[in-house]
Amino acid sequence: MTSATFKPIVYLKENCPFCLKVRLFLLESGLASDVETRDFVPDSEQEAKIRAELQPHLDKVSFPSAQLEPGRYVTESDDIVAFFAAKAGRDPAGMTVYRNYVDGVFAMSMKLWKENQELKKAASAA
Ligand SMILES: N[C@@H](CCC(=O)N[C@@H](CS)C(=O)NCC(=O)O)C(=O)O
């Protein structure tokens, strides 16, 4: 398959905040139908299949993952968004729903996660 006919594939884990970032970007930019989305539920048979598929191509499997071009696999949500944004000539900064999510719920969940890690660390050291 050539780059011209290849449809990029994104691998998204249900309820993963980083995966939702990619999904929102694809939906709001209108690119969702240009991409094959492989969703899975954590701890499912589907997850095991997807991990086995990705393993040979990545140092460490994490989600979201994507095959952007034939044989070009990436795992960082920001890199995945940047690739599709550049390809479509879209600026994520100007996308209302995407920006609201990234600057709002997503940023807050990252902050709370970090705080929780620090509290756990302090509690175990006490
Ligand atoms: N920096 C990464 C973080 C992604 C991340 O931590 N994803 C979690 C799921 S929410 C993950 O893959 N955890 C390890 C795993 O499921 O094997 C990104 O922005 O894509």
Cα–Cα distance, 72 to 57 (Å, whole number)? 8
Per-residue pLDDT band for 126 (boundaries 50, 70, 90) equals confident
Q: pLDDT tens for residues 9-28?
A: 999 999 999 999 999 999 99
Confidence class for position 56, pLDDT limits 50, 70, 90: very high
Residue 3 binned pLDDT confidence (cut-offs 50, 70, 90): confident
Structural domains in the chain, sorted by start: 9-125 (3.40.30.10)
Ligand 1 pocket test, candidate residues 18, 53, 117, most atoms within 8 A of CB: 18
- How far is the centre of ligand 1, averaged over its atoms, from the C-alpha of 13 (Å)? 9
Answer yes or no: is the C-beta of 76 below 6 A from any ligand 1 atom: yes
Q: Which atom of ligand 1 is nearest to the CA of 16?
A: 10
- Is the model's pLDDT at 53 over the cut of 80? yes
Atom 16, ligand 1: residue with shortest CA distance: 62
Q: Is the pLDDT assigned to residue 1 strictly greater than 70?
A: no
Mean pLDDT of the chain: 96
Report the separation in Å between the CA atom of 49 and the middle of ligand 1, taken as the mean of its atom positions: 17
Q: How far apart are CA 9 and CA 63, in angstroms?
A: 13
What distance in Å separates the CA atoms of residue 93 and residue 119, rounded to the nearest whole number? 33
pTM for this predicted structure: 0.94
According to DSSP, residue 44 is labeled: S
CB 73 within 8 A of CB 58: yes
**H helix or E strand, kind and range, residue 67:** strand 65-69
Nearest CA to ligand 1 atom 11: 62
